[in-house]
Structure 1
């Protein structure tokens, strides 16, 4: 997670507020799910969505989110698992769809094994959001001109490619944030390299469904 000032900025950027319905895609340890749960309150709802593609590799993921949902005060959390492109059948219409450091994975064999592609997922995201809803993407930046070529090898993706793909699904870019930018990131090493881990140059986009 980030320091408190960056967390606050990202929450503001994502427009998560009391009463919101949020889908947290690939929640990992559940840190964002917990944070969103606190913010949306009893009138809101958070769907901790574990893609089947991930659950088959890490069977404990769904159980961990189900356990999280049973924590005191987490009555507004529901653990959900389905294929990525079946998300719209597994979740209700949402105000915010949150992807944190996951979009690049849409270009990996693991995620594509069940038929998911970036284009298909973006269309699914469009259908799942309410009109005016926000699609938030935060990811590791690849070098200019790299496109999607570093998604598997370095776990990076070029921001311009993300924008082009998401806008092709019908979304409108509403805002972008540089709060997670790092000009000293060489963009040529894997994000897990000790020299850059946790400090990668990251971009944040907010797209809106018209």
Structure 2
């Protein structure tokens, strides 16, 4: 009997760590349940290639900074390949409303195909072509309007004034405009904004404030000090585009994605 006792103690000892481990898993599941943004970021419907970019795009921190919650009406302007749609659609599916405001052009049909591929996830996404949103998204009905790495396209195409006005009209009084874009140092020639894909913080502030928005703060969540923003082929030199192909590929991968500003504006409350 004495020989069996140590084995029993050993088995008991092996069982002890399982309780804290189970508690850790329960705590993790409880944390995700308590944090709907974290749960949406962890959604199994997301594609591995997009998940790999979380290290540069910090979606949970970014959406939290912009104040996105599951019960809001949210517009994403120019979702294109659907990177943020993979997170926003499950986040807003049950309690909120999610409009994908996609400019007409080459990305519109591709985005329709993207939505159709996973109807169980994206069946409640309301796709609205831009600039034909009038009547499809009620004016003054949106809590938060988000756009990621798109303002530089507006500036390069000369559509920035009209687009910011549309943003202002869609938002409720007190609503939030959240912008992430590639950051050009303030000391650089402003002419680079037309060709490089980078913009100055002051340029975006000027555009937003001219449309009637109030500046509500910034975050360094998406900053990358390794990006010098002076590439011959613009921001597209860096990943994920890697416009130089195999030339200096390792160098650009080591730098990572661009240095990005994260800016929050607010439509004045009545």
- Flag the structure with larger Rg: 2
Q: Does 1:165 align with 2:207?
A: yes
For residues 16-95 of structure 1, the aligned pairs below 5 Å read 16-52=68-104, 55=105, 57-58=106-107, 60-67=109-116, 71-83=119-131, 86-92=132-138, 93-95=141-143
Number of residue-to-residue matches in the alignment: 198
Q: Which residue of 2 aligns with 1:13?
A: 65
Is 2:233 aligned against 1:192?
A: no
Unaligned runs of 5+ in 1: none
TM-score by length of 2: 0.66
Q: Which runs of 4+ in 1 moved over 6 A?
A: none
| Structure 1 or 2: more helix by fraction | 2
Given the superposition, is the C-alpha separation of residues 37 and 148 from structure 1 closer, same or farther in structure 2, using an over 3 Å criterion? farther
More strand per residue: 1
Structure 2: gaps (5+ residues): 1-52, 239-251
Judge conservation of contact 1:107–1:148 (CA < 8 Å) in 2.
no
Following TM superposition, by how much is the alpha carbon of 1:135 offset from its aligned partner in structure 2, in angstroms? 0.4
Residue 16 to residue 76, structure 1, CA distance change in 2 (3 Å): farther
Contact 1:48 1:65 in 2 (8 A): no
Distance apart, 1:98 and its partner CA: 0.8
TM-score w.r.t. the length of structure 1 is 0.84
- Within 1, Cα distance between the matches of 2:94 and 2:76? 17
Change (3 A) 1:170 1:183: same
Which structure is richer in relative contact order (CA contacts within 8 A, separation 6 or more)? Answer: 1
Cα-Cα RMSD: 2.3
